[in-house]
Every structure is written in C-alpha cells, then in structure tokens.
Amino acid sequence: MTAVLTSGVTSGVMSNPVFREPETLGGPTREIEFRDAIREAMSEEMRRDKRVFLLGEEVAQYDGAYKVSKGMLAEFGERRIIDTPISESGFAGMAIGAAMIGLRPICEFMSWSFSLVAADPILNNAPKMLYMSGGQWGCPIVFRGNDGAGGQLGSTHSWCVEGLYSNVPGVKIVIPSCPADAKGLMKTAIRDDDPVFFLESERMLGSKGHVPEGEYLIPFGHAAVRRRGTDCTLCSWGRPVNFCLEAAEILAKEGISCEVIDLRTIRPLDMPTVIQSVRKTNCAVVVDQSWSFSSPGGELAALIHKHCFDDLDNFVYRVHSDDVPTPYSSKLEQEYLPNVRKICEAVRAATYRA
C-alpha cells in the first residue's frame, strides 16, 4: 500500500524493484566480511536516496561498536550518521517519527538484547501505524543489530529475539546466513515500505564470503537451497544454516543425503520451497537457535505437518537452543546452542529405518 506522508514525499521506493540473486549475476565477485557487506548495502542506498540515514549508539565517531559503519561518517556527515544517547526507547521512537514523515531510517541496536527496552515503540507503534491510520501513515524503517549468543556475553546480552518478535503482525524479519545475502537483503530492507527487523550474528560479522560487485536485491520470502539432497530436508536461517551444511557433509559420509534450505526471512516465510523439498525427501528437521517453546521453528514444523502430512515418513524433528538462560562458559554455550552434533543426531533419528 502506498502511504502519503506529511512531508509531501510519497513512499513508493519499492515500485518495480529489480530483484536479482547473487548467484545469477555472473561477473566479478570479491571476498569480503559480513560487516563489510552490510556497510556496502547501507552506503549504496544512502547514495541513492537522500532520505536514508543511520542512527544508533557509537555508529558515527567510533565507526560502530563492531565497525559495521566504519568510514560512513566521513562520507555522509553527522546529519546522516548520528550518534545517539544510550536510550534505545528514545532513539527508536525518534526514528519511527522520522519514518512517518517521509525519511527512511536505519536504526542500529548494538545488540537486539537491548531492543527489549524499546519494545513499546518497535512493537506497539511501528508495525501498527499503517493499519491504525487507514493506510495514511507508513513506517519504512530498518531496525538492525546483533542477535543471539555472541560469544560469552552472558544471559542478558544473548537474546535470540525472533522467537518474541515474529509473533507480531506488521513486521518483516530478515536473518541472513552469509555476506552475499546480507548485502542483498539489506538493500531490499531499506527500500521496503514496512518495518523490517534485520537480525545479524556477532559471531558472523568477521566471516568472509564472495559478494558480487553488481547491483542486486534479494526478495523477501524466497528461500535458498544451499545443498541438494534426497533423504532429509534441513530447514534453518541465520548462523545455524552453516551448522546444517557442516552436518550434511558428515551425514553424506554415512549415506544420508540432506537438502539444506536457508529460509533467509521468517516473516514472510517461503513455504512452497519447503513443501516441495519435503515432498521429495519425505523427512524434515528444523534447526532454530530460539528456545523451543512458541518458537519460529515450532511454527514451521506445524506448517510442514499441515501441508506434508501424507508425505512424511516420520514426524518433524526440531533442534533448538536448550531451554535454559544462555550460559557464560564458552563450552557450555556451544553445547547450549544448536550445533553439528545435535543436528546429526536429529537427522539420524528422523531417517531411521528399523
């Protein structure tokens, strides 16, 4: 829906977007870090659209707590790269107001754990504004930052928030698993007319991957099949996708062929790709770093049962973080999270034939 804003600017940047997958571009690529891919996306969109700006704690003078915004202050200046006070509720609310009058903010939470103190503006205002205003006021805003266990940050700084926030209608939730997707999905997020929650992993910011030099945007709601297989469908998103790929390599040596699906977004969810795969393999394992109770993984498993009940040879197995607060100990944290061992055990159980 196109929203007419009080500034006189019509929000319609997503009109006729050219969506292109990284692997279909051809041409040269560079191997760059995850954080660099996000910065490239933000910088390219800020050059393209003067309404886009970045705000958050330490994003300007310090180049970002994790150096994601390195060099952006020098290029765009302090009116578009804005250091904020340590007040997530305050600057999130300010950014929502800016979006309502025609700007397109990118609001960085140093950690999505800190977004909990901004729950009212980001959950009670941004997702509901278009609906409550009868289509008059949209909220084109991107909230982004680190999600999940970041490596010995303790229980209160290790929230995996998609289990909380995916319950709210009106938001789009993006969780990339590699640098190429991080760039393509971020560009799409910035151009989208709805609130987008962009969830990154601190543990992946230094991960390198091949990113095309050309312009591309990855559409929301379109999963990627990372590995083809015939015996079991592994569904995941974000960092755990990489664990699924490792597990698939191990299981292949045991004669179990896994198809690995990276959903990329969980709002919207690409069920057709999942259904097509499960109808081929007759088996599914869902891997989700959220806690199991009321999780996106639980919803996905329910949908697979609904649409593929007659195709399944077993119930859908699920791999989650253990149902305890995130441990501080490095070894306990690794055991707590979805990991290769847990995924392999789930696939063996799901594909077991007596």
Least confident of 81-90, 147-156, 176-185, 293-302: 147-156
**Among the options 33, 40, 57, 88, which is catalytic?**
88
Residues 241 and 266: beta-carbon distance below 8 Å: no
Q: What is the pLDDT of residue 6?
A: 26
**Among the options 157, 200, 202, 259, which is catalytic?**
157
Q: How confident is the model at residue 296 (pLDDT cuts 50, 70, 90)?
A: very high
pLDDT tens track for 71-82: 999 999 999 999
Residue 299: CA count within 13 A, CB half-sphere: 15
Q: What is the pLDDT of residue 27?
A: 77
Q: What does DSSP say about strands 10-11 and 232-236: parallel, antiparallel, or unpaired?
A: unpaired
Residues 129 and 141: beta-carbon distance below 8 Å: no
Averaged pLDDT score across all residues of the chain = 93
Three-class SS state of 146: strand
Residues 174 and 185: beta-carbon distance below 8 Å: yes
Q: Hey, how many other C-beta atoms are within 10 angstroms of the C-beta on 59?
A: 24
Q: How confident is the model at residue 340 (pLDDT cuts 50, 70, 90)?
A: very high
Place of tokens 């578009």: 80
Residue type, 159: W
Q: Is the pLDDT of residue 5 over 70?
A: no
Q: What is the pLDDT of residue 282?
A: 98
Q: Hey, how many other C-beta atoms are within 10 angstroms of the C-beta on 77?
A: 12
Q: What is the pLDDT of residue 146?
A: 95
Q: What is the pLDDT of residue 13?
A: 41
Domains of the chain, earliest start first = 3-212 (3.40.50.970), 224-350 (3.40.50.920)
Determine phi and psi for 108, rounding to 5 degrees: -95, 125
Q: What is the pLDDT of residue 152?
A: 86
Q: What is the pLDDT of residue 19?
A: 74
Cis ω for the linkage preceding 268 (within 30 of 0): yes
Contacts of residue 276, defined as CB under 8 A and 6 or more positions apart, other chains included, come to: none
Place of tokens 């929000």: 11
Average pLDDT for 264-282:
98
**C-alpha distances in angstroms, 101 versus 49, 79, 81, 306, 331?**
15, 17, 19, 42, 48
Helix boundaries (H) for 286-328? 296-308
Helices 240-252 and 340-350 meet at what angle, rounded to 10? 60
Q: What is the pLDDT of residue 17?
A: 61
User: CA triplet 121, 181, 15: central angle to 5 degrees?
Assistant: 65
Q: What is the pLDDT of residue 15?
A: 44
Q: What is the pLDDT of residue 8?
A: 28
Q: Hey, how many other C-beta atoms are within 10 angstroms of the C-beta on 40?
A: 19
Share of the chain above pLDDT 90, in %: 88
157 is catalytic: yes
Average pLDDT for 257-277:
98
Calpha distance 335→326 (Å, rounded): 10
pLDDT tens track for 195-231: 999 999 999 999 999 999 989 999 999 999 999 999 9
Work out the end-to-end distance of the chain between its first and last CA atoms, rounded to an integer number of angstroms.
54
Average pLDDT for 179-192:
98
Q: How confident is the model at residue 18 (pLDDT cuts 50, 70, 90)?
A: low
Q: What is the pLDDT of residue 150?
A: 78
345 is catalytic: no
pLDDT tens track for 124-172: 999 999 999 999 989 999 999 999 987 888 899 999 999 999 999 999 9
Share of the chain above pLDDT 70, in %: 94
Calpha distance 79→326 (Å, rounded): 38
Calpha distance 186→198 (Å, rounded): 8
pLDDT tens track for 26-39: 778 999 999 999 99
Residues 336 and 327: beta-carbon distance below 8 Å: yes
User: Rg of the Cα trace of the chain?
Assistant: 20
Place of tokens 């597990």: 247
Q: Is the pLDDT of residue 85 over 90?
A: yes
Q: How confident is the model at residue 3 (pLDDT cuts 50, 70, 90)?
A: very low
Helix boundaries (H) for the chain? 34-48, 72-76, 88-100, 119, 129-132, 162-165, 179-191, 240-252, 271-281, 296-308, 330-336, 340-350
Q: Is the pLDDT of residue 97 over 50?
A: yes
